[in-house]
A and B are shown apart, each in its own frame.
Chain A
Amino acid sequence: MLRKINRNYFFLLILILKAQASPQYFWGLFIFIIFLMGFAIFYFLPMKDVKIRELGGINGLEEAIGRSTEMGKPILYVAGLKPIPAVSAIAAMNILNEVAKISARYSTPIISPHNNPVTMLTAKEEIKEGFLQGGNPDLINTSKIFYITDSTFPYAVAVNSLVNETKPGAIFYMGTFYAESLILTEHAQGTGTIQIAGTDSVAQLPFFIVTCDFTLMGEELFASTAYIKKDTTSLKFLFLTDILKAFIILLIIIYNIGHIF
Protein backbone atom coordinates (compact mmCIF):
# COMPACT_ATOMS: atom_id res chain seq x y z
CA MET A 1 0.00 0.00 0.00
CA LEU A 2 2.78 2.39 1.06
CA ARG A 3 4.73 1.48 -2.04
CA LYS A 4 1.66 2.28 -4.15
CA ILE A 5 1.27 5.71 -2.56
CA ASN A 6 4.97 6.41 -3.02
CA ARG A 7 4.70 5.44 -6.68
CA ASN A 8 1.78 7.85 -7.12
CA TYR A 9 3.73 10.66 -5.46
CA PHE A 10 6.66 9.88 -7.72
CA PHE A 11 4.36 10.08 -10.77
CA LEU A 12 2.99 13.44 -9.54
CA LEU A 13 6.54 14.75 -8.98
CA ILE A 14 7.49 13.80 -12.55
CA LEU A 15 4.40 15.63 -13.81
CA ILE A 16 5.34 18.78 -11.92
CA LEU A 17 8.97 18.61 -13.04
CA LYS A 18 7.92 18.07 -16.65
CA ALA A 19 5.79 21.20 -16.51
CA GLN A 20 7.28 24.11 -18.45
CA ALA A 21 7.95 27.40 -16.69
CA SER A 22 5.78 30.06 -18.26
CA PRO A 23 4.54 33.58 -17.53
CA GLN A 24 1.07 32.08 -17.73
CA TYR A 25 1.69 30.57 -14.27
CA PHE A 26 1.53 34.10 -12.92
CA TRP A 27 -1.79 34.77 -14.61
CA GLY A 28 -3.12 31.44 -13.40
CA LEU A 29 -2.22 32.36 -9.84
CA PHE A 30 -3.61 35.87 -10.31
CA ILE A 31 -6.96 34.56 -11.54
CA PHE A 32 -7.03 31.98 -8.75
CA ILE A 33 -6.61 34.76 -6.15
CA ILE A 34 -9.36 36.86 -7.79
CA PHE A 35 -11.52 33.75 -7.88
CA LEU A 36 -10.97 33.13 -4.12
CA MET A 37 -11.64 36.76 -3.27
CA GLY A 38 -14.80 36.70 -5.34
CA PHE A 39 -16.12 33.63 -3.62
CA ALA A 40 -15.25 34.98 -0.17
CA ILE A 41 -17.33 38.06 -0.98
CA PHE A 42 -19.98 35.88 -2.53
CA TYR A 43 -20.50 33.78 0.60
CA PHE A 44 -20.52 36.61 3.13
CA LEU A 45 -22.59 39.03 1.10
CA PRO A 46 -26.04 39.82 2.51
CA MET A 47 -28.24 40.30 -0.57
CA LYS A 48 -31.37 42.10 0.57
CA ASP A 49 -33.32 44.80 -1.25
CA VAL A 50 -30.96 44.79 -4.22
CA LYS A 51 -32.15 46.85 -7.14
CA ILE A 52 -31.14 45.93 -10.69
CA ARG A 53 -31.08 48.47 -13.47
CA GLU A 54 -34.14 48.16 -15.70
CA LEU A 55 -33.54 46.11 -18.84
CA GLY A 56 -35.79 47.43 -21.59
CA GLY A 57 -35.31 44.29 -23.68
CA ILE A 58 -36.63 42.00 -20.93
CA ASN A 59 -39.43 44.39 -19.92
CA GLY A 60 -40.45 44.52 -23.56
CA LEU A 61 -40.96 40.73 -23.80
CA GLU A 62 -44.49 40.89 -22.33
CA GLU A 63 -45.43 43.89 -24.49
CA ALA A 64 -44.22 42.16 -27.67
CA ILE A 65 -45.96 38.86 -26.92
CA GLY A 66 -49.13 40.72 -25.87
CA ARG A 67 -49.18 42.62 -29.16
CA SER A 68 -48.62 39.39 -31.05
CA THR A 69 -51.59 37.84 -29.23
CA GLU A 70 -53.82 40.82 -30.08
CA MET A 71 -52.91 40.39 -33.74
CA GLY A 72 -53.53 36.62 -33.57
CA LYS A 73 -50.04 35.85 -34.80
CA PRO A 74 -47.33 33.49 -33.54
CA ILE A 75 -43.95 34.62 -32.20
CA LEU A 76 -40.59 33.68 -33.66
CA TYR A 77 -37.56 32.91 -31.50
CA VAL A 78 -34.10 32.81 -33.13
CA ALA A 79 -31.45 31.49 -30.73
CA GLY A 80 -28.24 32.68 -32.38
CA LEU A 81 -25.59 30.83 -34.30
CA LYS A 82 -23.40 29.50 -31.51
CA PRO A 83 -24.44 26.06 -30.25
CA ILE A 84 -25.44 25.21 -26.69
CA PRO A 85 -22.05 24.88 -24.95
CA ALA A 86 -21.60 28.62 -25.69
CA VAL A 87 -22.54 30.85 -22.79
CA SER A 88 -24.57 33.15 -25.07
CA ALA A 89 -26.69 30.17 -26.18
CA ILE A 90 -27.33 29.22 -22.55
CA ALA A 91 -28.41 32.80 -21.79
CA ALA A 92 -30.66 32.65 -24.89
CA MET A 93 -32.28 29.47 -23.54
CA ASN A 94 -33.00 31.19 -20.19
CA ILE A 95 -34.79 33.99 -22.02
CA LEU A 96 -36.64 31.43 -24.18
CA ASN A 97 -37.99 29.85 -20.98
CA GLU A 98 -39.38 33.23 -19.89
CA VAL A 99 -40.80 33.86 -23.37
CA ALA A 100 -42.51 30.44 -23.26
CA LYS A 101 -44.04 31.21 -19.85
CA ILE A 102 -45.50 34.51 -21.07
CA SER A 103 -46.67 32.89 -24.33
CA ALA A 104 -48.42 30.17 -22.33
CA ARG A 105 -50.33 32.81 -20.37
CA TYR A 106 -51.39 34.54 -23.60
CA SER A 107 -51.93 31.24 -25.51
CA THR A 108 -49.58 32.34 -28.29
CA PRO A 109 -47.65 29.68 -30.24
CA ILE A 110 -43.87 29.84 -30.58
CA ILE A 111 -41.94 29.02 -33.75
CA SER A 112 -38.23 28.44 -33.26
CA PRO A 113 -35.87 27.55 -36.15
CA HIS A 114 -32.39 26.38 -35.14
CA ASN A 115 -28.99 25.96 -36.74
CA ASN A 116 -27.76 23.35 -34.28
CA PRO A 117 -29.46 20.09 -33.27
CA VAL A 118 -28.34 20.25 -29.62
CA THR A 119 -29.66 23.80 -29.26
CA MET A 120 -32.90 22.65 -30.88
CA LEU A 121 -33.33 19.85 -28.31
CA THR A 122 -32.63 22.22 -25.41
CA ALA A 123 -35.07 24.77 -26.86
CA LYS A 124 -37.75 22.08 -27.06
CA GLU A 125 -37.31 21.29 -23.36
CA GLU A 126 -37.23 24.98 -22.41
CA ILE A 127 -40.47 25.64 -24.30
CA LYS A 128 -42.14 22.55 -22.82
CA GLU A 129 -41.16 23.60 -19.31
CA GLY A 130 -42.15 27.22 -19.94
CA PHE A 131 -45.61 26.21 -21.15
CA LEU A 132 -46.06 23.87 -18.18
CA GLN A 133 -45.03 26.61 -15.74
CA GLY A 134 -47.26 29.08 -17.56
CA GLY A 135 -50.22 26.72 -17.04
CA ASN A 136 -50.92 25.97 -20.69
CA PRO A 137 -49.41 22.55 -21.52
CA ASP A 138 -52.01 21.91 -24.27
CA LEU A 139 -50.33 24.52 -26.44
CA ILE A 140 -46.98 22.68 -26.57
CA ASN A 141 -46.20 21.94 -30.22
CA THR A 142 -42.66 20.63 -30.63
CA SER A 143 -43.03 20.38 -34.43
CA LYS A 144 -42.66 24.18 -34.53
CA ILE A 145 -39.18 23.90 -33.04
CA PHE A 146 -36.96 22.52 -35.75
CA TYR A 147 -33.48 22.36 -37.23
CA ILE A 148 -32.70 24.00 -40.58
CA THR A 149 -28.98 24.03 -41.34
CA ASP A 150 -25.57 24.82 -39.87
CA SER A 151 -24.66 27.17 -42.75
CA THR A 152 -25.08 30.86 -41.96
CA PHE A 153 -26.69 32.27 -45.11
CA PRO A 154 -29.03 29.36 -45.93
CA TYR A 155 -30.19 29.62 -42.30
CA ALA A 156 -30.81 33.37 -42.68
CA VAL A 157 -32.79 32.81 -45.89
CA ALA A 158 -34.87 30.06 -44.26
CA VAL A 159 -35.71 32.33 -41.30
CA ASN A 160 -36.66 35.17 -43.67
CA SER A 161 -38.85 32.75 -45.60
CA LEU A 162 -40.53 31.74 -42.31
CA VAL A 163 -41.16 35.42 -41.53
CA ASN A 164 -42.87 35.84 -44.91
CA GLU A 165 -44.87 32.67 -44.47
CA THR A 166 -46.02 32.95 -40.85
CA LYS A 167 -46.02 36.75 -40.42
CA PRO A 168 -45.07 36.64 -36.72
CA GLY A 169 -46.23 39.42 -34.40
CA ALA A 170 -42.92 39.47 -32.52
CA ILE A 171 -39.44 38.19 -33.26
CA PHE A 172 -36.70 37.58 -30.69
CA TYR A 173 -33.03 37.28 -31.61
CA MET A 174 -30.96 36.11 -28.66
CA GLY A 175 -27.40 34.78 -28.71
CA THR A 176 -24.36 35.21 -30.94
CA PHE A 177 -24.88 36.46 -34.48
CA TYR A 178 -22.58 37.14 -37.41
CA ALA A 179 -23.06 38.69 -40.87
CA GLU A 180 -26.64 37.42 -41.10
CA SER A 181 -27.90 39.70 -38.31
CA LEU A 182 -28.87 42.58 -40.62
CA ILE A 183 -30.24 40.22 -43.28
CA LEU A 184 -32.63 38.85 -40.63
CA THR A 185 -33.65 42.03 -38.85
CA GLU A 186 -33.86 44.43 -41.79
CA HIS A 187 -36.02 41.96 -43.70
CA ALA A 188 -38.38 41.56 -40.71
CA GLN A 189 -38.42 45.34 -40.19
CA GLY A 190 -40.30 45.61 -43.49
CA THR A 191 -43.12 43.40 -42.14
CA GLY A 192 -43.78 45.76 -39.20
CA THR A 193 -43.18 43.17 -36.50
CA ILE A 194 -41.81 43.98 -33.02
CA GLN A 195 -38.19 42.86 -32.79
CA ILE A 196 -36.18 42.31 -29.61
CA ALA A 197 -32.53 41.36 -29.81
CA GLY A 198 -29.82 40.41 -27.34
CA THR A 199 -26.29 39.65 -28.42
CA ASP A 200 -22.69 39.46 -27.27
CA SER A 201 -21.42 40.06 -30.84
CA VAL A 202 -20.00 43.59 -30.61
CA ALA A 203 -19.75 43.97 -34.39
CA GLN A 204 -23.45 43.20 -34.85
CA LEU A 205 -24.75 45.48 -32.07
CA PRO A 206 -25.14 48.60 -34.28
CA PHE A 207 -27.27 46.62 -36.74
CA PHE A 208 -29.55 45.34 -34.00
CA ILE A 209 -29.84 48.79 -32.39
CA VAL A 210 -30.88 50.33 -35.71
CA THR A 211 -33.40 47.68 -36.73
CA CYS A 212 -34.85 46.33 -33.47
CA ASP A 213 -37.25 47.90 -30.97
CA PHE A 214 -35.24 46.75 -27.95
CA THR A 215 -31.66 45.48 -27.73
CA LEU A 216 -29.86 43.75 -24.87
CA MET A 217 -26.30 44.94 -25.32
CA GLY A 218 -23.37 42.67 -24.48
CA GLU A 219 -23.31 41.79 -20.81
CA GLU A 220 -27.05 42.61 -20.45
CA LEU A 221 -27.69 39.31 -22.21
CA PHE A 222 -25.90 37.45 -19.40
CA ALA A 223 -27.43 39.65 -16.69
CA SER A 224 -30.91 38.86 -18.00
CA THR A 225 -30.94 35.51 -16.14
CA ALA A 226 -30.59 37.25 -12.79
CA TYR A 227 -33.05 39.93 -13.89
CA ILE A 228 -35.68 37.31 -14.75
CA LYS A 229 -35.11 34.88 -11.86
CA LYS A 230 -34.29 37.46 -9.18
CA ASP A 231 -33.05 34.63 -6.89
CA THR A 232 -30.32 35.31 -4.33
CA THR A 233 -27.60 33.22 -6.01
CA SER A 234 -28.07 34.83 -9.44
CA LEU A 235 -28.14 38.29 -7.85
CA LYS A 236 -24.92 37.52 -5.99
CA PHE A 237 -23.25 36.46 -9.23
CA LEU A 238 -24.45 39.65 -10.91
CA PHE A 239 -23.06 41.71 -8.05
CA LEU A 240 -19.81 39.73 -8.29
CA THR A 241 -19.58 40.70 -11.97
CA ASP A 242 -19.71 44.37 -10.98
CA ILE A 243 -17.11 43.88 -8.23
CA LEU A 244 -14.77 42.12 -10.68
CA LYS A 245 -15.26 44.90 -13.20
CA ALA A 246 -14.50 47.57 -10.60
CA PHE A 247 -11.42 45.63 -9.46
CA ILE A 248 -10.03 45.28 -12.99
CA ILE A 249 -10.78 48.95 -13.80
CA LEU A 250 -8.88 49.90 -10.63
CA LEU A 251 -5.93 47.75 -11.78
CA ILE A 252 -5.96 49.44 -15.19
CA ILE A 253 -5.97 52.90 -13.53
CA ILE A 254 -3.11 51.95 -11.16
CA TYR A 255 -1.13 50.50 -14.08
CA ASN A 256 -1.61 53.69 -16.14
CA ILE A 257 -0.68 55.96 -13.22
CA GLY A 258 2.43 53.81 -12.66
CA HIS A 259 3.23 54.09 -16.35
CA ILE A 260 3.04 57.91 -16.26
CA PHE A 261 5.47 58.25 -13.31
Chain B
Amino acid sequence: MKEFIALGIVLIGGIFMAFQYYLHIPLMKDLYNTFLDWGIVISVFALFIGIKSLLQRQIREIKEKKEHLIFPLTTIISFGVVIILWLIWGAKKDSPPVNFIYTTFQVPLQATIFSLLAFYITSASYRAFRAKNFSATILLITASIVIIGRIPLGDYLAKITIINVGKHSFSLLNFPQWVQWILNVPNVGVKRAFKFGITIGIILTSFKIIFGVEKNWLK
Protein backbone atom coordinates (compact mmCIF):
# COMPACT_ATOMS: atom_id res chain seq x y z
CA MET B 1 0.00 0.00 0.00
CA LYS B 2 2.84 2.39 0.95
CA GLU B 3 4.53 1.65 -2.37
CA PHE B 4 1.26 2.21 -4.25
CA ILE B 5 0.77 5.65 -2.63
CA ALA B 6 4.40 6.66 -3.30
CA LEU B 7 4.17 5.56 -6.93
CA GLY B 8 0.86 7.43 -7.30
CA ILE B 9 2.44 10.66 -5.98
CA VAL B 10 5.39 10.22 -8.36
CA LEU B 11 3.08 9.54 -11.32
CA ILE B 12 0.92 12.64 -10.72
CA GLY B 13 3.85 14.83 -9.66
CA GLY B 14 6.03 13.69 -12.57
CA ILE B 15 3.40 14.35 -15.23
CA PHE B 16 2.56 17.70 -13.63
CA MET B 17 6.24 18.75 -13.51
CA ALA B 18 6.74 17.77 -17.16
CA PHE B 19 3.68 19.61 -18.45
CA GLN B 20 4.01 22.78 -16.33
CA TYR B 21 7.16 23.60 -18.31
CA TYR B 22 5.25 23.68 -21.59
CA LEU B 23 1.96 25.16 -20.37
CA HIS B 24 2.17 28.72 -19.09
CA ILE B 25 -0.66 28.53 -16.57
CA PRO B 26 0.00 30.76 -13.51
CA LEU B 27 -1.51 28.28 -11.04
CA MET B 28 0.81 25.54 -12.34
CA LYS B 29 3.83 27.82 -11.92
CA ASP B 30 2.81 28.60 -8.32
CA LEU B 31 2.42 24.90 -7.54
CA TYR B 32 5.79 24.18 -9.15
CA ASN B 33 7.48 26.78 -6.92
CA THR B 34 5.73 25.33 -3.86
CA PHE B 35 7.03 21.84 -4.73
CA LEU B 36 10.56 23.25 -5.05
CA ASP B 37 10.22 24.83 -1.57
CA TRP B 38 9.12 21.46 -0.17
CA GLY B 39 12.25 19.93 -1.68
CA ILE B 40 14.43 22.43 0.22
CA VAL B 41 12.63 21.66 3.50
CA ILE B 42 13.08 17.90 3.01
CA SER B 43 16.79 18.34 2.19
CA VAL B 44 17.27 20.18 5.52
CA PHE B 45 15.96 17.10 7.38
CA ALA B 46 18.26 14.89 5.29
CA LEU B 47 21.22 17.01 6.44
CA PHE B 48 20.68 15.83 10.04
CA ILE B 49 21.11 12.24 8.84
CA GLY B 50 24.35 13.31 7.15
CA ILE B 51 25.67 14.99 10.31
CA LYS B 52 24.82 11.89 12.35
CA SER B 53 26.67 9.65 9.88
CA LEU B 54 29.72 11.96 9.79
CA LEU B 55 30.04 12.22 13.58
CA GLN B 56 29.39 8.50 14.11
CA ARG B 57 32.25 7.62 11.78
CA GLN B 58 34.68 10.09 13.36
CA ILE B 59 33.84 8.92 16.90
CA ARG B 60 34.25 5.29 15.82
CA GLU B 61 37.69 6.07 14.44
CA ILE B 62 38.71 7.70 17.73
CA LYS B 63 37.37 4.72 19.70
CA GLU B 64 39.22 2.26 17.48
CA LYS B 65 42.38 4.36 18.09
CA LYS B 66 43.43 4.41 14.45
CA GLU B 67 46.87 5.56 13.32
CA HIS B 68 46.00 9.15 12.36
CA LEU B 69 43.75 10.36 15.17
CA ILE B 70 44.44 13.96 14.22
CA PHE B 71 41.96 13.80 11.32
CA PRO B 72 38.80 12.70 13.19
CA LEU B 73 39.70 15.02 16.07
CA THR B 74 40.14 17.98 13.71
CA THR B 75 36.80 17.22 12.04
CA ILE B 76 34.90 17.04 15.34
CA ILE B 77 36.55 20.14 16.82
CA SER B 78 36.01 22.18 13.61
CA PHE B 79 32.41 21.04 13.45
CA GLY B 80 31.80 22.03 17.09
CA VAL B 81 33.55 25.42 16.76
CA VAL B 82 31.62 26.41 13.63
CA ILE B 83 28.28 25.37 15.18
CA ILE B 84 29.01 27.40 18.35
CA LEU B 85 30.08 30.47 16.35
CA TRP B 86 26.99 30.24 14.19
CA LEU B 87 24.77 29.95 17.26
CA ILE B 88 26.34 33.06 18.83
CA TRP B 89 26.66 35.31 15.76
CA GLY B 90 23.94 33.82 13.58
CA ALA B 91 24.25 31.83 10.38
CA LYS B 92 24.63 34.85 8.09
CA LYS B 93 27.21 35.07 5.35
CA ASP B 94 28.41 38.51 6.48
CA SER B 95 28.81 37.69 10.18
CA PRO B 96 32.51 38.24 11.12
CA PRO B 97 33.47 34.77 12.47
CA VAL B 98 31.75 32.88 9.66
CA ASN B 99 33.34 35.19 7.10
CA PHE B 100 36.73 34.72 8.77
CA ILE B 101 36.49 30.91 8.70
CA TYR B 102 35.33 30.96 5.08
CA THR B 103 38.02 33.30 3.73
CA THR B 104 40.91 32.15 5.95
CA PHE B 105 40.46 28.39 5.91
CA GLN B 106 37.90 27.14 3.41
CA VAL B 107 38.76 29.24 0.34
CA PRO B 108 42.59 28.73 0.44
CA LEU B 109 42.24 25.00 1.15
CA GLN B 110 39.78 24.50 -1.70
CA ALA B 111 41.98 26.56 -4.02
CA THR B 112 44.96 24.37 -3.08
CA ILE B 113 43.10 21.19 -4.03
CA PHE B 114 41.79 22.76 -7.23
CA SER B 115 45.30 23.85 -8.23
CA LEU B 116 46.46 20.23 -7.94
CA LEU B 117 44.30 19.58 -10.99
CA ALA B 118 46.95 21.19 -13.22
CA PHE B 119 49.52 18.58 -12.17
CA TYR B 120 47.01 15.74 -12.50
CA ILE B 121 46.13 16.91 -16.03
CA THR B 122 49.83 16.94 -16.92
CA SER B 123 50.46 13.41 -15.68
CA ALA B 124 47.24 12.09 -17.28
CA SER B 125 48.13 13.78 -20.60
CA TYR B 126 51.62 12.26 -20.51
CA ARG B 127 50.05 8.78 -20.33
CA ALA B 128 47.32 9.49 -22.89
CA PHE B 129 49.58 11.03 -25.54
CA ARG B 130 51.71 7.95 -26.15
CA ALA B 131 51.31 6.85 -29.79
CA LYS B 132 50.46 3.22 -28.96
CA ASN B 133 47.98 2.71 -31.79
CA PHE B 134 46.27 4.59 -34.62
CA SER B 135 43.63 6.28 -32.38
CA ALA B 136 46.27 7.33 -29.83
CA THR B 137 48.42 8.74 -32.65
CA ILE B 138 45.50 10.87 -33.93
CA LEU B 139 44.94 12.06 -30.35
CA LEU B 140 48.63 12.93 -30.02
CA ILE B 141 48.70 14.89 -33.31
CA THR B 142 45.45 16.75 -32.51
CA ALA B 143 46.60 17.58 -28.98
CA SER B 144 49.95 18.82 -30.30
CA ILE B 145 48.19 21.15 -32.77
CA VAL B 146 45.90 22.48 -30.02
CA ILE B 147 48.82 23.03 -27.64
CA ILE B 148 50.94 24.86 -30.26
CA GLY B 149 47.94 26.92 -31.40
CA ARG B 150 47.20 28.08 -27.87
CA ILE B 151 50.71 29.32 -27.03
CA PRO B 152 52.61 32.34 -28.50
CA LEU B 153 54.66 29.97 -30.70
CA GLY B 154 51.49 29.23 -32.71
CA ASP B 155 50.94 32.93 -33.48
CA TYR B 156 54.63 33.36 -34.35
CA LEU B 157 54.62 30.39 -36.79
CA ALA B 158 51.41 31.68 -38.38
CA LYS B 159 53.02 35.11 -38.94
CA ILE B 160 56.37 33.94 -40.40
CA THR B 161 54.79 31.49 -42.83
CA ILE B 162 52.48 33.99 -44.53
CA ILE B 163 52.78 33.78 -48.32
CA ASN B 164 51.16 35.95 -50.96
CA VAL B 165 49.44 34.40 -53.97
CA GLY B 166 48.21 37.19 -56.21
CA LYS B 167 45.93 39.43 -54.20
CA HIS B 168 45.41 36.81 -51.50
CA SER B 169 47.71 35.99 -48.61
CA PHE B 170 47.53 32.97 -46.35
CA SER B 171 49.61 31.29 -43.69
CA LEU B 172 51.08 27.81 -44.26
CA LEU B 173 51.15 27.01 -40.54
CA ASN B 174 48.08 28.79 -39.25
CA PHE B 175 47.88 26.90 -35.95
CA PRO B 176 45.41 29.29 -34.21
CA GLN B 177 42.92 28.84 -37.08
CA TRP B 178 43.36 25.05 -37.06
CA VAL B 179 42.71 25.04 -33.31
CA GLN B 180 39.50 26.98 -33.83
CA TRP B 181 38.38 24.49 -36.47
CA ILE B 182 39.18 21.48 -34.20
CA LEU B 183 37.29 23.05 -31.31
CA ASN B 184 34.31 24.28 -33.33
CA VAL B 185 33.75 21.38 -35.72
CA PRO B 186 34.81 17.86 -34.56
CA ASN B 187 34.85 18.73 -30.85
CA VAL B 188 31.40 20.37 -30.77
CA GLY B 189 29.97 17.68 -33.07
CA VAL B 190 31.03 14.83 -30.79
CA LYS B 191 29.96 16.72 -27.65
CA ARG B 192 26.51 17.33 -29.13
CA ALA B 193 26.17 13.67 -30.07
CA PHE B 194 26.94 12.69 -26.48
CA LYS B 195 24.58 15.28 -25.04
CA PHE B 196 21.85 14.17 -27.43
CA GLY B 197 22.16 10.54 -26.30
CA ILE B 198 22.38 11.52 -22.63
CA THR B 199 19.28 13.75 -22.84
CA ILE B 200 17.18 11.03 -24.45
CA GLY B 201 18.52 8.54 -21.90
CA ILE B 202 17.49 10.91 -19.07
CA ILE B 203 14.01 11.45 -20.56
CA LEU B 204 13.35 7.73 -20.94
CA THR B 205 14.72 6.92 -17.47
CA SER B 206 12.48 9.68 -16.06
CA PHE B 207 9.49 8.02 -17.78
CA LYS B 208 10.56 4.72 -16.21
CA ILE B 209 10.57 6.38 -12.78
CA ILE B 210 7.24 8.19 -13.36
CA PHE B 211 5.48 5.00 -14.52
CA GLY B 212 6.95 2.87 -11.74
CA VAL B 213 9.17 0.65 -13.90
CA GLU B 214 12.25 1.91 -12.02
CA LYS B 215 11.57 1.55 -8.29
CA ASN B 216 14.93 1.29 -6.57
CA TRP B 217 14.67 4.86 -5.25
CA LEU B 218 11.71 3.69 -3.10
CA LYS B 219 13.92 1.58 -0.83
Chain A residues close to B by CB (< 8 Å): 15-16, 18-20, 22, 24-25, 27-28, 31, 84-85, 87-88, 90-91, 93-94, 97, 116-118, 120-122, 125-126, 129, 143, 146-151, 153-154, 156-157, 161, 179, 182-183, 186-187, 189, 200, 202, 205, 207, 210-211, 217-219, 221-223, 225, 233-234, 237-238, 240-241, 244-245, 248
Residues of chain B contacted by A150 (CB below 8 angstroms): 50
Using CB atoms, name the residue of chain B closest to A211: B124
Residues of chain A contacted by B127 (CB below 8 angstroms): 210-211
Q: Distance (Å) between the CB of A133 and the closest chain B CB?
A: 12
Q: Are B194 and A218 in contact (CB under 8 A)?
A: yes
Residues of chain A contacted by B110 (CB below 8 angstroms): 151, 153-154
Residues of chain A contacted by B26 (CB below 8 angstroms): 18-19
Interface residues of chain A: helix, strand, loop or mixed (majority): helix
Q: Are B50 and A120 in contact (CB under 8 A)?
A: yes
Residues of chain A contacted by B120 (CB below 8 angstroms): 182-183, 186-187
Residues of chain B contacted by A187 (CB below 8 angstroms): 120
Q: Which of B53, B116, B191, B216 contacts A183 (CB 8 A)?
A: B116
Known contacts A182-B120, A244-B204, A94 near B216 by CB under 8 Å: yes
Q: Which of B25, B39, B116, B117 contacts A19 (CB 8 A)?
A: B25
Complex: A186 Cα to B116 Cα, angstroms:
11
Q: Are B219 and A207 in contact (CB under 8 A)?
A: no
The interface bits of chain B over 44-61 (1 if a CB of A lies within 8 angstroms of the residue's CB, else 0) are: 001111100110110010
Any chain A CB within 8 A of the CB of B41? no
Q: Are B219 and A129 in contact (CB under 8 A)?
A: yes
Since A210-B127, A245-B197 are in contact, a sample of 19 more A-B pairs with Cβ atoms closer than 8 Å, ordered by chain A residue number, is A15-B27, A19-B26, A24-B21, A27-B22, A85-B217, A90-B209, A90-B216, A90-B217, A93-B216, A93-B217, A117-B47, A117-B53, A148-B54, A182-B117, A183-B117, A186-B124, A202-B194, A210-B128, A237-B204
Residues of chain B contacted by A85 (CB below 8 angstroms): 39, 217
Any chain A CB within 8 A of the CB of B170? no
- In the complex, chain B residues 165-219 whose Cβ is within 8 Å of any chain A Cβ: 191, 194-198, 200-209, 213-214, 216-217, 219
Chain B residues close to A by CB (< 8 Å): 19, 21-27, 39, 43, 46-50, 53-54, 56-57, 60, 71, 109-110, 113-114, 116-117, 120-121, 123-125, 127-128, 191, 194-198, 200-209, 213-214, 216-217, 219
Q: Which of B109, B114, B195, B208 contacts A202 (CB 8 A)?
A: B195
Nearest 3 Cβ contacts at the A-B interface = A28-B22, A222-B201, A117-B50
Using CB atoms, name the residue of chain A closest to B54: A147
Query: Could you write out 24 A-B pairs with CB less than 8 Å apart?
Result: A15-B27, A19-B23, A20-B24, A24-B24, A85-B39, A87-B209, A88-B202, A93-B217, A117-B49, A118-B46, A125-B219, A146-B54, A153-B109, A179-B114, A182-B117, A186-B123, A207-B124, A211-B127, A218-B197, A219-B201, A222-B205, A234-B208, A241-B204, A248-B200
Q: Which of B46, B117, B197 contacts A219 (CB 8 A)?
A: B197
Known contacts A90-B217, A153-B110, A154-B110, A200 near B25 by CB under 8 Å: no
Q: Are B53 and A28 in contact (CB under 8 A)?
A: no
Residues of chain A contacted by B219 (CB below 8 angstroms): 122, 125-126, 129
Q: Are A147 and B204 in contact (CB under 8 A)?
A: no
Residues of chain B contacted by A221 (CB below 8 angstroms): 201
Residues of chain B contacted by A211 (CB below 8 angstroms): 124, 127
Q: Which of A24, A90, A183, A244 contacts B200 (CB 8 A)?
A: A244
Q: Distance (Å) between the CB of A117 and the closest chain B CB?
A: 4
Complex: A51 Cα to B19 Cα, angstroms:
34
Residues of chain A contacted by B21 (CB below 8 angstroms): 24, 28
Q: Distance (Å) between the CB of B148 and the closest chain A CB?
A: 19
Known contacts A143-B60, A245-B196, A84 near B217 by CB under 8 Å: yes
Residues of chain B contacted by A183 (CB below 8 angstroms): 113, 116-117, 120
Residues of chain B contacted by A121 (CB below 8 angstroms): 49
Complex: A116 Cα to B51 Cα, angstroms:
10
Q: Which of B48, B60, B113, B207 contacts A237 (CB 8 A)?
A: B207
Complex: A219 Cα to B46 Cα, angstroms:
29
